[in-house]
């Protein structure tokens, strides 16, 4: 499936939590496809209705180039880490009043798997450039 | 090929993995209660439950659904007897043209399963289905009536 190239590079990165398995990341990719992929790209670098999420873990909220954000998200002033993503995804509007992100992952296992999947994605800034020098 | 559990039955559908669930339900499983309104998850007419979670089926690829995940459509709401939201909808004449209402009922029933005592603000925040006829006031009343009923079970239906 189209997410495989990113997943292949994921396992060269250290997965932060001892409890996260490859199966969790794979399930996270499936849940991402089910609930998130219609608005959020993770490959091409383009943003659609939602910001591109490649490299979101470690990124300052509301700063992806070319993405549309609510004012609330632009003014949030936090850096996404796994704990904050877990909180956000359990109830986006509860954490960021005024966000246009409306999809909540209430099941904690599914949420953790999706966050594990997001954490496994390479940051586009780390990708080798296509430019020939 | 997609193997899906829909309203308690396991079905095999000869479709591609990227087929959105809405088309699987309507065109392949013969369940036309779920409606197409926009195709881009903005209107909610296509709302179904997957393991109790309300989802807009027009953007859920069938390949992302495991056969152990239970899909419930409007046809499957209220096993044997009307769900309290359906009962409330009938009593309060919530529907006008009715086109959005299957989605409304699926969103409402999922909300009440997750939050049995929603405030008006909770209901307005969670039920974002669009209704061209403007039944929003009655939808709110219907959900509150259903919530009341569900909180005090009686020997009615």
Q: What is the pLDDT of residues B11-38, one digit of tens each?
A: 999 999 999 999 999 999 999 999 999 9
Predicted ipTM > 0.85: yes
Instruction: From chain A, pick out residues whose CB is under 8 angstroms from the CB of B63.
Output: 1, 33
Domain that holds residue B14: 2-76
- For residue B105, being part of any structural domain is answered with yes
Q: Are B120 and B58 members of one domain? A: no
What's the CATH number where B28 sits? 3.10.20.30
How far apart are the C-alpha atoms of B143 and B120, rounded to whole Å?
Answer: 9
CB contact at 8 A, A14 and A119:
no
Residue-level pLDDT at A130: 55
Residue B26 DSSP symbol: I
Chain mean pLDDT for chain B: 96
Q: What's the average pLDDT block by block, 10 residues per block, for chain A (133 residues)?
A: 51 56 95 96 89 95 94 95 97 93 94 96 68 49
Q: Are B68 and B126 members of one domain? A: no
Selection from B23, B26, B25 nearest residue B39 by Cα: B23
- Are B66 and A102 in contact (CB < 8 Å)? no
Q: Are B7 and B54 members of one domain? A: yes
Q: Are B47 and B16 members of one domain? A: yes
Compute and round to an integer the Cα radius of gyration of chain A.
Answer: 14
The residue ranges of every structural domain in chain A are 21-122
Q: Between the CA of residue B37 and those of A75, B30, B43, B156, what are the distances in Å?
A: 34, 18, 6, 34
Residue-level pLDDT at A12: 46
Residue B6 DSSP symbol: E
- Report the phi/psi class of residue B7: left, alpha or beta, with left for phi > 0 and alpha for psi in -120 to 50: left
Burial of B123 (0-12, 13-18, 19+ CB in 10 A): buried
Residue A130 DSSP symbol: S
Residue-level pLDDT at A68: 93
Q: How far apart are the first and last CA of chain B?
A: 39
Residue, of A130 and B132, whose pLDDT is higher:
B132
Mean pLDDT of B48-72: 97
| Interface-testing mutation among B24, B46, B53, B66, with chain A (most A C-beta atoms within 10 A) | B53
- For residue B157, being part of any structural domain is answered with no
What's the CATH number where B126 sits? 1.10.150.120
Q: Which of B41, B50, B51 sits opposite A38 (nearest CB)?
A: B41
For B11, phi then psi, to 5°, come to -125, 150
Give residue for tokens 């969103």: B107
Does the beta carbon of A34 lie under 8 angstroms from any beta carbon of chain B?
A: yes
Q: How many domains does chain B have?
A: 2
* pLDDT, tens digit (0-9, with 9 covering 90-100), for B65-101: 999 999 999 999 988 899 999 999 999 999 999 999 9
Q: Are B70 and B15 members of one domain? A: yes
Q: Are B69 and B88 members of one domain? A: no
Q: Are B66 and B114 members of one domain? A: no
For B123, phi then psi, to 5°, come to -65, -45
Q: Are B45 and B111 members of one domain? A: no
Query: What's this model's pTM, rounded to 2 decimal places?
Result: 0.87
The CATH superfamily of A21-122 is Cytochrome c-like domain (1.10.760.10)
Residue-level pLDDT at B18: 96
CB contact at 8 A, B45 and B35:
yes
Residue, of A65 and B113, whose pLDDT is higher:
B113
pLDDT at B108 over 50: yes
CA B92 to chain A, closest CA, distance in angstroms equals 29
Q: What are the structure tokens assigned to B121, written together?
A: 């603000």
Q: What are the structure tokens assigned to A67, written together?
A: 């993405």
Query: How would you classify the pairing of strands B70-72 and B2-6?
Result: parallel
CA torsion through residues A96, A98, A99, A103, sign: positive
Q: Which of A1, A38, A102 sits opposite B59 (nearest CB)?
A: A38
Residue-level pLDDT at B53: 96
Closest-approach residue (CA) in chain B for A33: B64
Last residue of a domain, one of B76, B108, B125: B76
How far apart are the C-alpha atoms of B136 and A129, rounded to whole Å?
Answer: 51
- Are B60 and A35 in contact (CB < 8 Å)? yes
Last residue of a domain, one of B54, B76, B98: B76
- For residue B156, being part of any structural domain is answered with no
């Amino acid at each position: 499936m189209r997410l495989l190239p990113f997943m292949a590079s994921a396992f060269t990165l250290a997965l932060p939590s001892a409890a996260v398995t490859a199966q969790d990341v794979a399930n996270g990719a499936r849940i991402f496809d089910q609930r998130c992929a219609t608005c959020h790209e993770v490959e091409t670098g383009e943003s659609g209705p939602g910001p591109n999420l490649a490299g979101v873990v470690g990124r300052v909220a509301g700063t992806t180039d070319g993405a549309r954000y609510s004012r609330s998200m632009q003014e949030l002033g936090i850096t996404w880490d796994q704990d904050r993503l877990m909180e956000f995804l359990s109830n986006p509007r509860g954490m960021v009043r005024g966000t246009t992100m409306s999809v909540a992952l209430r099941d904690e296992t599914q949420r953790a798997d999706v966050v594990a999947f997001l954490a496994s994605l390479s940051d586009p800034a780390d990708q080798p450039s296509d430019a020939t020098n | 090929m997609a193997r899906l559990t829909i309203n308690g039955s396991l079905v095999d559908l000869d479709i591609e993995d990227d087929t959105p669930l809405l088309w699987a339900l309507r065109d392949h499983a013969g369940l036309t209660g779920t409606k197409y309104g926009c195709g881009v998850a903005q209107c909610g007419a296509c709302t179904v439950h997957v393991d109790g979670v309300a989802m807009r089926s027009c953007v859920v690829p069938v390949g992302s659904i495991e056969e152990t995940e239970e899909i419930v459509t409007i046809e499957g709401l209220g096993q044997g007897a009307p769900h309290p939201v359906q009962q409330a909808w009938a009593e309060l004449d919530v529907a006008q043209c009715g086109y959005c209402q299957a989605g409304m009922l699926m969103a409402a029933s999922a909300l009440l399963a997750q939050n049995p005592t929603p405030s008006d603000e909770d209901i307005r925040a969670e039920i974002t289905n669009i209704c061209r006829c403007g039944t929003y006031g009655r939808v709110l009343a219907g959900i509150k009536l259903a919530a009341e009923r569900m909180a005090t079970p009686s020997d009615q239906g």
